[in-house]
Amino acid sequence: PPPSPPSPPSPPPSPYTCRAGWRESEGRCYQYPWSLGNFASSEQICASSEAGEAPTLAVITSDAQRQTAADVSSGSENRIGLFYNVSTQAYEWVDGTAFVYEARWHQKCSGATCNNRCVRQVSSSHGWKPGQWDDWHCDGNSNFICSYTLPPPPQPPQVVHVMAELVQPPQP
């Protein structure tokens, strides 16, 4: 028999779903790259992952996202994209997302003398502080979690119903 024709190429992945190997939670995709790095090198590894729009160290804005990030990681403490800015004495996300959600902390940085300015999240399977956040020094090597935000899906066109008024001709 003649050889089968080649199968058609696979369609490109949808920009509205996470790429293979990433897990979605509330419009953000998470991945555990199985690498070690300090804060700067971890951020570079995330950015070079070629997934989605501008991947960074993980940004977490809800309990559901925190749980997803904890679930994709190994049984260790994993760097996320949250750091303490000594100048402003406030926590900031690497992508500029407002810091409004906080998980339960094992240890938290505060004040102008804070030495451990970067944050790690503990995986779900950790024995004594699962899912908690912990401040840690930025120069130390650590496992880490990456994330990127999915674009919003296109909105269907809005249908506008217009009701025509009946106009009476002027009376003589």
Mean pLDDT within 165-172:
61
Structure tokens at 98: 């407002």
Give the pLDDT band of residue 128 (cuts 50, 70, 90): low
- Model confidence over 62-101: pLDDT tens digits? 999 998 998 888 768 899 999 988 888 888 999 988 888 8
- pLDDT of 58 reads 94
Q: C-alpha distances in angstroms, 42 versus 22, 34, 109, 117, 138?
A: 17, 11, 21, 15, 10
Give the pLDDT band of residue 25 (cuts 50, 70, 90): very high
Residue type, 93: W
Which pTM value belongs to this model? 0.76
Q: C-alpha distances in angstroms, 31 versus 16, 38, 139?
A: 16, 17, 22
Dihedral sign for Cα 64, 62, 111, 86, please: positive
Give the pLDDT band of residue 137 (cuts 50, 70, 90): confident
Structure tokens at 55: 């991947």
